[in-house]
Amino acid sequence: MEDNTLQKSQAWLQDLIQGAIGHGLETRVLEGLRIIQAQKGFMRCNFIVPSPASDADGNWHVGAIATLIDVIGAVTVYSFAHRVITSLDFSISYYSTAKIQEHVEIDAKVLTNRGTLTQVMVEVRRKGNGELIALGKLWMASNKLAVSEMSKL
């Protein structure tokens, strides 16, 4: 079951990146994201910040970073709990900026599981020197639905 859940979580992320599901925002924000390591409750991704995710100064928009952290956190929790999840508490600390076309690495790991509540931490770091760009912590609640059972609304 674990391998199947991990495969489903990766397929869910790929569908978001390719625009097969979601609202289009995710596709623009996640364009070019690559999973480089995945385990139950852990994801590591490489990412080159795409130009649609920029602010007026050519920096990676903080809203785009927040969307990426939310999506990667949700996919990581799904790989752990095999249930559809909802963000209940979401905090992000921004430590640095990143420019468009800059390489970053994203690590997400489940920290705590309390039944239907799961905490995940997502770190976004500059690939070259490991400088922390943003740190997100999310508490997520899972229900009994699988991704394939979600409404298309």
pLDDT per 10-residue tile (average), the chain, 153 residues: 74 82 81 93 96 94 96 91 83 97 97 91 96 97 62 43
Question: What pLDDT is stored for residue 61 in this prediction?
Answer: 96
Q: Check if the beta carbon of residue 44 is closer than 8 Å to that of residue 93.
A: no
Query: Distance (Å, rounded) from C-alpha 27 to C-alpha 145?
Result: 23
What DSSP line would sit under 103-139, residue for residue? EEEEEEEEEEEETTEEEEEEEEEETTT--EEEEEEEE
The predicted structure's pLDDT at residue 59: 96
Burial track 52-70 (b if 16+ CB lie within 10 A, e otherwise): ebbeeeebbbeebbbbbbb
Q: Which pair of tokens denotes residue 125?
A: 């770091």
Give the pLDDT confidence score for residue 145 in this predicted structure.
Answer: 57
For 99-142, what is each residue's pLDDT tens digit? 999 999 999 999 999 988 999 999 999 999 999 999 999 999 98
Give the predicted TM-score (pTM) of the model. Answer: 0.86
